[in-house]
Structure 1
Amino acid sequence: MTSSAEVFGGGTAVITGAGAGIGAGLARHAALALGMTVVLADVDQPALELTCAEITDGGGRAMPAVVDVRDAAAVQQLADRVAEELGPVHLLVNNAGVEQFGYLWDTPVANWERLVSINISGVFHGVRAFLPRMLAQTEPAWVLNLSSVGAVTAVPLQSPYIMSKHAVLALTECLHQEVALAGGGHIRVSAVLPGAVASRIFDAAGGVDNGDLTAAAGAREAMFQVRARAISPDEAAATIFQQAADGEFYIVTQPEVVLPAMRERGAQLSGRRPPAPARSSRFASKPTQ
């Protein structure tokens, strides 16, 4: 088995949503464990600076960039800046994402539009800005798009988020084929489907202003309980990089959780069964005894 350090070491990585959570874990691992030069992109400047300091204090190379992935022009400017200052990008990780709780019909329009523009359009903007240069270069390159175990499930009271992760998975599956069609044999495209990874995504998630506030609060609380059994961002990052180095398309952080969900999804579709009520516990690893 080829180590992730052998595959990625010394290259340049661009990671969106790198200020906290799994994005920060990926940035730390890329810089400190693999020796990559990491461009950290995030809209949260204080969080970005904190993660950047963790990397540089540990002897890693990091370049912070305050960027809102909803802004196509800003993402393009980042791609141009990276090309000018650092050269070819060897790894693009489209990770930025937000959550939303509550019944779909209670979801504020502004919350819906914000989530779609970050979780889906943000991935598109990253691909559109960086991939043309990656196709033109001769060095091997990787594109990792962060989906979720939610992409192979149907979960009530999280409809916008789950929908967005289904969309990212489909986008990535199509992109995989398009890159091959365009002659990008040196580029590997992968979909990352994590289970529960400790982060602040549930704290910062949108809720509802009207309608069933209790249901929205209950869904948030259920995910807090899942988070209590989640793996750390650094543990997730090590797994993601190793599976990427192994050439996996579907990268899963917790096989014991994600693979059964994938099998269940396949059986549901082939059997034409309506989705069964989801249990949020499926998102987390079983606690060790």
Structure 2
Amino acid sequence: MSASVKAFRGGTAVITGAAAGVGAGLARHAALALGMNVVLVDVDESALERTCAEITDDGGRATPAVTDVRDADAVQSLADRVTKESGPPRLLVNNAGVLQFGYLWDVPVANWERLVSVNIDGVFHGVRAFMPHLLAQSEPAWVLNMASIGAVAAWPLQTPYIMSKHAVLALTECLHQEVALAGARHIRVSAVLPGAVTSRIFDDAGGVDSGDLSAAEREREEMFRVRERAISPEEAAATILSQAADGEFYIVTQPESVLGAMRDRAAQLTARRAPAPPRSRFVTPQPE
């Protein structure tokens, strides 16, 4: 029996942003490979229903929970309901996230506020709503917050997203210490830093309404090319939950790229070296 099966089998998992992408991959793996009862959380009701149906058709246990992670009261109601019906979750994954392209000064205020409320507030709401339930019991539990390779890098034309993932990483590092300080040894907190994983996050990312529209769209096209080298959500999920079961704090899906980014970041900070933008992003294409 694998460590992840031993750790998670029979427990309840709550996964936000679970209708598609890595969230759906985590839900499928948790339900079908690990035998968990999975509560899938998302705002996209139709996609959520489809993903749940796929899991149940394959013999897994999946329940949809249409919830906006930006709404603290809605997330609290979800936590209370799940705990009442199934007990505190063994696995909580705060995964919901959105992306934004374009120069920072061109980003619409509404897009900035939406990204911050999903990517940062959504993680806070999940922790705040579920943690008291986890603290009140003694069974082992795992809290995974979805950061990104972007949490240890600085990348132009995606500033709101990169900023949010730095924030999630810092939140998770501090939360890990607070859980230890509170003496809650049964709760394990991890930061997940995946590299490129196949999803629609680049398709659905916000753009800009004015300013340099072409820069935003060129960045989107560049990310489409990155996606061609991405791993599948299922592969990412198996790696993430295996490392979680092994007790890793920094969970990485592609060590060669993510650990490389960590080393580069550490070297840059130690040398007090200002980040340099990739030249190709700032060169105006010449007409053919």
Class of the TM-score when normalised by the shorter of the 2 chains: over 0.9
**Aligned residue in 2 for 1:202:** 202
User: Is the aligned partner of 1:18 residue 2:18?
Assistant: yes
Opposite residue 24 of structure 1, the aligned amino acid is A
Give the superposition deviation at 1:197: 0.1
**Aligned residue in 2 for 1:157:** 157
Opposite residue 204 of structure 1, the aligned amino acid is D
Give the superposition deviation at 1:278: 4.8
Q: How does 1:73-152 map to 2 (within 5 A)?
A: 73-152=73-152
Q: Residue deviations 1:64-107, cap 9 Å, x none? A: 00000000000000001101111121110000000000000000
Unaligned 5+ segments in structure 1 are 281-289
Q: Residue 279 and residue 196 in structure 1: after superposition, are their counterparts in 2 closer, same or farther (change >3 A)? A: farther
TM-score, normalized by length of structure 1? Answer: 0.95
The separation in 2 between residues aligned to 1:209 and 1:55, in whole angstroms, is 39
DSSP 3-state at the match of 2:204: coil
Give the superposition deviation at 1:3: 2.1
| 8 Å contact from structure 1 (residues 102, 208) kept in 2 | yes
Opposite residue 188 of structure 1, the aligned amino acid is R
Q: Residue 249 and residue 278 in structure 1: after superposition, are their counterparts in 2 closer, same or farther (change >3 A)? A: farther
User: Is the aligned partner of 1:171 residue 2:171?
Assistant: yes
The separation in 2 between residues aligned to 1:190 and 1:279, in whole angstroms, is 35
The separation in 1 between residues aligned to 2:124 and 2:115, in whole angstroms, is 14
Aligned-residue RMSD, C-alpha = 1.2
**Aligned residue in 1 for 2:286:** none
Q: Residue deviations 1:233-252, cap 9 Å, x none? A: 00000000110011100000
User: Is the aligned partner of 1:44 residue 2:44?
Assistant: yes
Opposite residue 265 of structure 2, the aligned amino acid is R
Opposite residue 171 of structure 1, the aligned amino acid is L
**Aligned residue in 2 for 1:283:** none
**Aligned residue in 1 for 2:213:** 213
Q: Residue deviations 1:3-49, cap 9 Å, x none? A: 21011111110000000000000000000000000000000001100
| 8 Å contact from structure 1 (residues 106, 211) kept in 2 | yes
Q: Residue deviations 1:184-203, cap 9 Å, x none? A: 10000000000000000011
Opposite residue 266 of structure 1, the aligned amino acid is A
Opposite residue 38 of structure 1, the aligned amino acid is V
Opposite residue 32 of structure 1, the aligned amino acid is L
| 8 Å contact from structure 1 (residues 151, 163) kept in 2 | yes
Opposite residue 125 of structure 2, the aligned amino acid is H
DSSP 3-state at the match of 1:13: strand
| 8 Å contact from structure 1 (residues 2, 246) kept in 2 | no
Q: What number of residue pairs does the alignment pair up?
A: 280
**Aligned residue in 2 for 1:263:** 263
Identity of aligned residues (%): 79
Unaligned 5+ segments in structure 2 are 281-288
The separation in 2 between residues aligned to 1:111 and 1:88, in whole angstroms, is 34
Opposite residue 134 of structure 2, the aligned amino acid is M
| 8 Å contact from structure 1 (residues 154, 278) kept in 2 | no
DSSP 3-state at the match of 2:202: coil
The separation in 2 between residues aligned to 1:115 and 1:7, in whole angstroms, is 33
The separation in 2 between residues aligned to 1:151 and 1:276, in whole angstroms, is 17
User: Is the aligned partner of 1:277 residue 2:268?
Assistant: no
